[in-house]
Amino acid sequence: MAQDNQEKVIVIDFGGQYNQLVARRVREANVYCEIYSYRTPLDQIKAMNPKGIILTGGPNSVYEEGAASAPKELFEMGIPVLGLCYGAQLMMHVLGGKVEKAPEREYGKTEILVDNTASEVFRNVPDKSIVWMSHNDYITAIADGFVVDAHTVNCPYAAVENAEKKLYAFQYHPEVLHSEYGREMLKNFVHNVCGCAGTWRMDDFAENTVKALREKIGDGKVLLALSGGVDSSVAAGLLAKAVGKNLTCVFVDHGLLRKDEGDEVEAVFGPSGQFDLNFIRVNAQERYYKKLAGVTEPEQKRKIIGEEFIRVFEEEAKKIGAVDYLAQGTIYPDVVESGLGGESATIKSHHNVGGLPEFVDFKEIVEPLRDLFKDEVRKVGLHLGIPEKLVFRQPFPGPGLGIRIIGEVTAEKVKIVQDADAIYREEIDNAGLNKTIGQYFAALTNMRSVGVMGDERTYDYAIALRAVNTVDFMTADAAEIPFEVLKKVTNRIVNEVDHVNRVFYDITSKPPGTIEME
Ligand code: GLN
């Protein structure tokens, strides 16, 4: 959200895939950063008084008719400019260099050799390192006044600069982690070239966002569907600080939450919690169980849970009447997932509350976390004083335990899986593994088998434990939890949870398995 009188760097979006990563790296260098479309009038950019400007990559070719462009004046304002990939090509194109289709398209990790070791942007960067390339065009002639900073085998002008005018151009993408020293290079640009002090912190984001929300919303009324997940909780915290009682949070307890979760959310956001807001908890457990009775097909279960959520929320929204804003905890990866973002953006509702906008009478959507990545959201959450337990909560699907109970969902089964899962999480914590495993949970298989307990025959359920490590949640491997830990969890579950006499550990990877079981 916009901030005043602050050292900032502006990222100009040409439709590249990694634009938010550029902004993120700048923030990591402790400099505030905002992204604007290349269509933004130059006067408007100038008025923001940026310390530097970064031009992103993009799908066009600069020499094509109608390609996304920038006026020459952009490079003549005395503001440092760094062009990345398309941005680099554009800088050369506009300033009199030449860009053509490359004989050899470069994609992936490429070795770069530094020619100008005195360059400010290559400070603390070794002469040889790996950068990430993704281009079909390349610069064949550089503009007057520029010198070569670095090259690769296929790319004579991998990095060029005009130090006097503070103009820099990289053909590669320093923002992606495959570029070994990319972070360093971007930091060098914002600190050494732009002269930013680097005093900005995520805490400032929180404070400034609160201020900006207050200005934007004024006396307006805001409605938020609070799920108890990190994102909606942090959004609620920011909005509560900004507009207090003008924020109403509706928290639907669908009876498919983890053990004690409903109460934990209420403890933080309810009347005796630390925030000043209107908190409505709807205890809709019975309604959900009734709807789910007899339903075993996973997709149908998901559908019922999703639709029922909309119904419940709609009823509450009707009681409140028209609101000015519908708030959502959308974070940047959601924006990307929806295939939106940046240049082509039209706001889409957050998948967790998908469909809500159609049922609520409101004027505008507010999404205070739209530019942030998950770990940044967590930092804001901690700054707001939201308990760690909530801030570092395990990812939890919208349909909740409904899809961690194979087959029909009943109140009894919910209790079983809640208790087993609580034990599992507690023991993972005790073993100090909670931050090393990507995601872990207990599920209730629909299988019953014979066992013996206290000399008596039992015929009870089997719990499945799942734990996976994953980088992107697209693929995953089973986590290698020490056998001792698994044994302890198993012992506790069969001893402490009624109607469970067997525990399995799921070692299937994704694919062919999925992370959740339904
Ligand atoms: N479209 C340009 C090219 O192919 C720029 C690509 C990019 O910015 N990643 O070279």
Q: What is the model's pLDDT at position 349?
A: 34
Q: How many angstroms separate the CA atoms of 121 and 119, rounded?
A: 5
User: Does any ligand 1 atom lie closer than 6 A to the CB of residue 58?
Assistant: yes
Q: Which is it for the CA torsion 364, 369, 371, 374, positive or negative? A: negative
- Please choose from 89, 99, 131 the residue to mutate so as to test ligand 1's pocket, defined by most ligand atoms within 8 A of CB: 89
Burial environment of residue 214 by CB neighbours within 10 A (0 to 12, 13 to 18, 19 or more): middle
Task: Out of 13, 62, 84, 135, give the residue to mutate to test ligand 1, the one with the largest number of ligand atoms within 8 Å of its CB.
Answer: 135
Nearest residue (by CA) to ligand 1, atom 7, is 57
| Domains observed in the chain | 8-193 (3.40.50.880), 202-391 (3.40.50.620), 410-506 (3.30.300.10)
Task: State the pLDDT at residue 225.
Answer: 92
Strands laid side by side in the 159-162 sheet? 32-37, 8-13, 52-55, 81-84, 167-170, 159-162, 147-151, 98-114, 128-141
Q: Any residues with CB less than 8 A from the CB of 316 and at least 6 apart, and which?
A: 250, 280, 282
pTM: 0.77
Ligand 1 atom at minimum distance from 84 CA? 8
Q: Report CA(192)–ligand 1 centroid distance (Å).
A: 27
Q: Please state the atom number of ligand 1 nearest to the C-alpha of residue 59.
A: 1
Enumerate the active-site residues. Answer: 85, 173, 175
- Does ligand 1 come within 6 angstroms of the Cβ of 137? yes
Distances (CA, A) of 425 to 157, 492, 508: 53, 12, 20
Cβ of residue 86 lying under 6 Å from some atom of ligand 1: yes
Alpha-carbon span 170 to 133, nearest angstrom: 10
pLDDT in tens, the chain (518 residues): 444 567 999 999 998 888 888 998 999 999 988 888 899 999 999 999 999 999 999 999 999 999 999 999 999 999 999 999 999 999 999 999 999 999 988 899 999 999 999 999 999 999 999 999 999 999 999 999 999 999 999 899 999 999 999 999 999 999 998 999 999 999 999 999 999 999 988 888 899 899 999 999 999 999 999 998 899 999 999 999 999 999 999 999 999 999 999 999 999 999 999 999 999 999 999 999 999 999 999 999 999 999 999 899 889 988 988 899 999 998 877 765 554 445 433 323 333 445 666 777 888 999 999 888 888 899 999 999 999 989 988 888 889 999 999 999 999 999 999 999 999 999 999 999 988 898 999 999 999 999 998 889 999 999 999 999 976 667 889 999 999 999 999 999 999 999 999 999 999 998 898 889 98
Instruction: Decide if 408 contacts 292 (C-beta within 8 A).
Output: yes
> pLDDT at position 350, please?
36
Give residue 350 CA to ligand 1 midpoint distance, Å: 30
Q: Do residues 351 and 338 lie in contact, with contact meaning Cβ atoms separated by under 8 Å? A: yes
**Ligand 1 pocket member 171 (CB < 6 A):** no
Q: How far is the CA of 471 from the centre of ligand 1 (A)?
A: 26
Counting atoms of ligand 1 from 1, which one is nearest the CA of 138?
10
- According to the model, what pLDDT value does residue 149 have? 98
C-alpha 374/C-alpha 376 separation (Å) is 5
Question: Which residues carry a binding-site annotation for ATP?
Answer: 227-233
Per the omega criterion (within 30 degrees of 0), is the bond before 333 cis? Answer: no
Q: ipTM of this model? A: 0.91
Q: Which atom of ligand 1 is nearest to the CA of 102?
A: 10
For residue 153, how far is its CA from the centre of ligand 1 (angstroms)? 18
Q: Note the pLDDT of residue 305.
A: 93
Binding-site residue ranges: 227-233
167-170 vs 159-162, strand pairing mode:
antiparallel
- What distance in angstroms lies between residue 137's CA and the mean position of ligand 1's atoms? 6
Residue among 55, 85, 110 whose CB has most ligand 1 atoms within 8 A, to mutate = 85
Query: What radius of gyration, in Å, describes the C-alpha atoms of the chain?
Result: 26
Say if CB 295 and CB 334 are below 8 A apart: no
Rounded to the nearest 10 degrees, the angle between the axes of helix 230-243 and helix 202-217 is 60
Indicate the angle between helix axes 411-430 and 483-496, nearest 10 degrees: 140
